[in-house]
Structure 1
Amino acid sequence: MDRLILQKAASYCAYQERTQDEVRQRLKKWNVWGDEADELIAELISMNYLSEERFAKTYAGGKFRIKNWGRMKIRQELNRRGLSQYSIEKGMGEIEDKAYVEGLKALLEKKRNLLVKTENDPFKLKQKLVRFALGKGYESELIWKTVEELE
């Protein structure tokens, strides 16, 4: 195993949380394939540079707090990145129910204040709010309940 490549991979992982797939793609760019790539990834995991559970927690928490994403969108992205169901569940655990509902409420209030200036029809306003929140990845049942509360 090449120490220089291991060092490069370690600093790549230290810069921000990564998935095994991301590391594998980077190793391919450095012309490291197959068993050697698997060995390097195993070494990075044992050295605690690479942790999918830690990635899932950081990703879920960050996308919720910073981008106001809903659970469905976050879960879909984590799945797309090839994380295990266990890691995904650990990541989703970072989002507390109370903060989730409050986050959706604040998001919808902010959007409503923007839309109210141009949209006079209350039915269309509701529709636009629901569509907006669905696009952010929130559950429709929760969205409708929150939109009704805003009335």
Structure 2
Amino acid sequence: MEKKSFTFNEIKQKLVNYCVYQDRCHAEVEQKMREFLLIDEAKEEIMLYLLKENYLNEERFTRSYIRGKFYIKHWGKNKIKINLKQKQISEKLINKCFDEIDDADYEKTIKKAFEDYYSKQKGLKEYQKKSKTIKYLMSKGFEYEKINDIFD
């Protein structure tokens, strides 16, 4: 496929649009830049521009990512953390932004996921239902200690 060539300003505008459409992290913007054959100085200049003009804001990205994955996808903190780390977000920033999730909402979500899944387990012994449900909730990213609290 023929690579269309763009001017520096066209590329810069494309990356602004990319960030405006949805919050992005640095790693995503760097990945997107690879589509364009840019020298390092140009990449750096665009990156600084995006940061300076607040098109790119790692904390805002992290907060909106956490809200979306929890409130829409119902992921637990472990799964959210793993996915953010893959996007090269620091553990410190992730932990700072977890206050986006209300503790009461978190517990309610675990309970609801537990009840929904548990009630669908038919023809199993009690301990099998329990262990399948724990496995399921852990795969959704909920912490073992929090899941165990439900049984108490």
TM-score by length of 2: 0.90
Are 1:63 and 2:65 counterparts?
Answer: no
Equivalent position SS for 1:29: coil
In structure 1, the gaps of 5 or more residues are none
Corresponding position: 1:7 with 2:13: yes
Structure 2 residue runs of 5 or longer lacking an equivalent are 1-6
Report percent identity of matched pairs.
Answer: 32
Q: In the TM superposition, what is the alpha-carbon distance from 1:14 to its structure 2 partner?
A: 0.7
Q: Distance in 2 between matches of 1:57 and 1:138?
A: 18
Quick one: distance in 2 between partners of 1:42 and 1:102? 41
Equivalence for 1:127: 131
Q: Give the one of 33, 36, 44 matched to 2:42.
A: 36
Q: CA shift at 1:89, angstroms?
A: 2.5
Aligned residues: 146
SS at match of 1:64: helix
The 4+ residue runs of structure 1 with deviation greater than 2 A are: 84-87
User: How far apart in 1 are the matches of 2:41 and 2:92?
Assistant: 25
Cα 1:86/1:142, change in 2 over 3 Å:
closer
Instruction: Tell me the equivalent position of 2:84.
Output: 78
Cα deviation digits, residues 19-66 of structure 1 (max 9, x gap):
111111111111124221121011011111111101100111110111
